[in-house]
């Protein structure tokens, strides 16, 4: 969890959690002359090895470039001008620049995290790995603090002006917010999960393929011209041991194959099952403790919004904290939660819609509704534009 920060005039602040949200917030504040401390309970090796999201919206890319951490992204990231939607007999290309004037980039969250950690350790404020017992305190007043135990086992107290709870879904910040503010939680779990693999094989399509199939959803994605990232819909109760590589490739081949285009298999280097849920916690603030990213909300992965939404939160929160800590004006921190939640709900709807359209569950009636919706997106420019605008990221209302 978290980070802390202090401004030129010696007002300290703090963030909790060195995921993309906490690291980027710290970087944005540092560029405005506000010092931060980032507290992370895992090791650097663990954080840098986590395989997660892979698609960056244009806004996310621009934010990273503007923050001075976009050099490798610009060299190694793969710009994509669209995606394919597939259902039996059809593989249809959606051209994003044509539909909405934007595109997306393939660049793994792992790489984004590595770039941010390198910048933070090279010339940034402190980033402490391996801390424990992190606890935000006195968040209702103007001088909150974070108690924690450092990696050597010594108890520490970080006095702050503000605390960012960027400690993900299982962090300690959200319970502090919900315990002290009247608010609400919304949650939906889905009756399916994704089994994801990384494989050392060139992607069998130059752009992503989202495939509806009677056996279940499949997604062809990638991390580089030599590394494929692939997902198949599975039952959430399934065990990874029941999915040897041959079974995964067979399912992928059946669901993603098209006439004349076989799916290339290769050595599998990572394999995991991801549960799927929608979750929103409001408000995203209690006093001087502000939630951002997965600490406040989770979307199912279809549509690749999770990481991008965390970056959008942090964009709003950085503006608000700069105004609070440098100008002592509270207007932007006061409106932060409402403005962030408006985008959260848009992304929650889009992710739910993509998920519901593409995954098999229910009966044949549901399947016909899904196919009707897919045909609509492939045949109607207005329906395709709606998908493209959301997928590439709607402008942020700063
Ligand atoms: P996180 O990345 O979760 O970072 C939170 C940080 O806080 C972590 O480093 C954690 O170790 C640290 N932390 C937690 N508790 C404490 C504590 N008590 N004290 C100190 N530190 C703490 N999104 C997509 O768009 N596409 C995908 O394919 C995709 N795949 C995913 C796969 C998995 C397994 C998961 C979990 C998520 C996936 N997501 C995906 C979602 C996306 O990765 C998240 O939305 C994104 O990581 C959010 O960033 P964050 O910084 O808010 O949270
Ligand atoms: C990836 C993940 C997604 O959730 C998605 O919609 C597209 C791509 C990926 O991990 O590459």
Q: 305 catalytic, yes or no?
A: yes
Relative to beta strand 35-39, strand 127-128 is: parallel
| Ligand in nearest proximity to the CA of 355 | 2
Which ranges of 225-269 does DSSP label H, i.e. alpha helix? 245-256
- Residues (pLDDT < 70) of the chain are 1-13, 260-261
CB 146 within 8 A of CB 16: yes
Q: Which of 210, 213, 231, 297 is labelled catalytic?
A: 210
| pLDDT the model gives residue 12 | 57
Please tell me the pTM assigned to this model. Answer: 0.96
Q: What are phi and psi of 93, to 5 degrees?
A: -90, 130
Query: Is 349 annotated in the active site?
Result: no
pLDDT tens for each residue of 26-70:
999 999 999 999 999 999 999 999 999 999 999 999 999 999 999
At 260 the pLDDT is: 61
Instruction: Give dist(CA 329, CA 320) in Å, integer.
Output: 9
| 46 assigned to active site | no
What does the pLDDT look like over 188-224, one tens digit per residue? 999 999 999 999 999 999 999 999 999 999 999 999 9
Residues 6+ apart with CB under 8 A from 122: none
What is the C-alpha separation between 305 and 56, in angstroms, rounded? 9
Q: Which single residue is written with the structure tokens 């404020």?
A: 125
Ligand 1 nearest-atom number relative to CA 172: 18
Q: 280, 186 in Cβ contact below 8 A? A: yes
The finding on whether 294 has its CB within 6 A of some atom of ligand 1 is yes
Q: How far is CA 26 from CA 5, 145, 164, 202, in A?
A: 8, 17, 9, 36
Catalytic one of 6, 80, 213, 297: 80
Q: How far is the CA of 19 from the centre of ligand 1 (A)?
A: 6
CA atoms within 13 A on the CB side of 173: 39
Cα 151 to averaged position of ligand 1 atoms, centre (Å): 21
User: Looking at ligand 2, which residue's alpha carbon is closest to its atom 3?
Assistant: 304
Tell me which residue has its CA closest to atom 35 in ligand 1: 52
Alpha-carbon distance of 130 to 187, in angstroms, equals: 31
355 touches ligand 1 (CB under 6 Å): no
Residue with the two structure tokens 């400690």: 167
- Among all chains, which residue has been given the structure tokens 């202090």? 6
Contact 229, 373 (CB under 8 A): no
CA distance 367 to 360: 7
Q: Which of 26, 38, 109, 158 to mutate to test the pocket of ligand 1 (most atoms within 8 A of CB)?
A: 109
At 241, list the tokens.
Answer: 């041991």
Give the full edge-to-edge strand order of the sheet including 132-137: 132-137, 145-149, 155-159
Q: Residues with Cβ < 8 Å from 20, sequence gap 6 or more?
A: 109, 112, 113, 116, 293, 307, 310, 311
Given this model, what pLDDT does residue 262 score? 81
Q: Does residue 221 line the site of ligand 2, with CB under 6 A?
A: yes
C-alpha of residue 217 to centroid of ligand 2, in Å: 13
**Distance (Å, rounded) from C-alpha 228 to C-alpha 246?**
16
- pLDDT value at position 397? 83
């Amino acid at each position: 969890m978290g980070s802390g920060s202090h401004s030129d005039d010696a007002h300290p602040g703090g963030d909790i959690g060195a995921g993309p949200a906490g690291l980027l917030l710290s970087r944005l504040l540092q560029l405005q002359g506000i010092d931060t401390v980032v507290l992370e309970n895992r090791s650097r090796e663990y954080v840098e090895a986590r395989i997660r999201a892979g698609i960056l919206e244009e806004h996310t890319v621009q934010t990273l470039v503007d923050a001075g951490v976009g050099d490798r992204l610009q060299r190694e990231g793969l710009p994509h001008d669209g995606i394919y939607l597939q259902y039996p007999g059809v593989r249809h290309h959606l051209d994003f620049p044509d539909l909405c004037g934007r595109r997306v980039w393939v660049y793994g969250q792992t790489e984004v995290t590595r770039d941010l950690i390198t910048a933070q350790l090279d010339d940034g404020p402190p980033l402490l790995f391996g801390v424990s017992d992190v606890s935000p305190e006195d968040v209702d007043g103007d001088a909150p603090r974070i108690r924690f135990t450092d990696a050597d086992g010594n108890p520490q107290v970080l006095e702050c002006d503000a605390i960012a709870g960027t400690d993900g879904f299982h962090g300690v910040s959200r319970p502090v917010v919900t315990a002290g503010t009247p608010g609400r939680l919304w949650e939906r779990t889905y009756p399916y999960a994704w089994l994801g693999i990384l494989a050392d094989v060139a992607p069998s399509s130059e752009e992503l393929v989202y495939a509806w199939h009677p056996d279940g959803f499949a997604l062809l994605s990638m991390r580089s011209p030599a590394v494929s990232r692939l997902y198949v819909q599975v039952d959430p109760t399934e065990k990874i041991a029941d999915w040897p590589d041959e079974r995964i490739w067979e399912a992928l081949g059946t669901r993603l194959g098209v006439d004349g285009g076989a799916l290339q298999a290769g050595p599998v280097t990572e394999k995991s099952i991801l549960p799927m849920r929608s979750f929103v916690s409001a408000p995203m603030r209690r006093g001087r403790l502000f939630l951002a990213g997965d600490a406040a909300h989770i979307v199912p992965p279809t549509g690749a919004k999770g990481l991008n939404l965390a970056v959008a939160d942090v964009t709003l929160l950085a503006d608000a904290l700069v105004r609070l800590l440098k100008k002592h004006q509270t207007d932007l921190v006061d409106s932060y939660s409402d403005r962030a939640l408006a985008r959260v709900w848009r992304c929650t709807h889009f992710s739910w819609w993509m998920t519901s359209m593409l995954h098999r569950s229910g009966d044949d009636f549901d399947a016909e509704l899904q196919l009707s919706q897919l045909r609509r997106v492939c045949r109607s420019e207005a329906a395709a534009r709606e998908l493209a605008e959301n997928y590439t990221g709607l402008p942020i209302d700063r």
